[in-house]
Amino acid sequence: MSRIKLQDDMPSVVYKMSEGNIGAVTVLVGCLRDGGIIDGNAAFGGLAHVFDLDTLGIYGSRIWMLYKDVCKQDLRTMIAVLRAWQLGFLSRDILNHAIDNYGDGLDVPAMVVKVEERLPEFQRTGEETDATA
C-alpha cells in the first residue's frame, strides 16, 4: 500500500519514504532535486521516481541498498533501473531480489542501455548524478 498521499508536502514524503534512514533521505532528496533533469520525460519530475519507489514498496534502508549496492552510488543509474521497471524491462521480483542480494541477478548496465534506447532524452548531467553532492 502506498505511503504517499496527495496532501503530503515534500518533507512529509521524504520522512515517510526514508523511515529515518539518512542514506535514504540523501537519495530521495537527490531524486527530487535532480530526477527531472536526468529523466526529462518523467511526468512529475523527480517526484516520479519517488512514486516508483513507493509503488514498488521500497522504503528506508532498501532505498539506500538500491542506490549503493545495486546502482553503485549513481543516481542516474538508479533512476534508469526504476524506469526499466516502469517500461516493463524488469520485474518487481528481480528488482527486489537484487536489492536484497547486493545486485545479484540484475544486469544493471543492460537495463540502462534499454532505457537509453527507449528514451533518447535520458541524459547524464554531471554532478547531479551523485545523490551525495
Q: State the average pLDDT for the chain.
A: 92
Cβ count near 8 (within 10 Å): 14
What 3-state class would DSSP assign to 33? helix
Please state the rounded mean pLDDT for residues 92-106: 97
Domain range annotation of the chain:
10-120
Cα 88 from Cα 129, distance rounded (Å): 23
* Cβ neighbours of residue 102 closer than 8 Å, sequence gap 6 or more: 69, 70
What are the cell numbers at 96? 527486489
**pTM score, two decimals?**
0.89
pLDDT tens-place string over residues 60-69: 999 999 999 9
pLDDT tens-place string over residues 41-89: 998 999 999 999 999 999 999 999 999 999 999 999 999 999 999 999 9
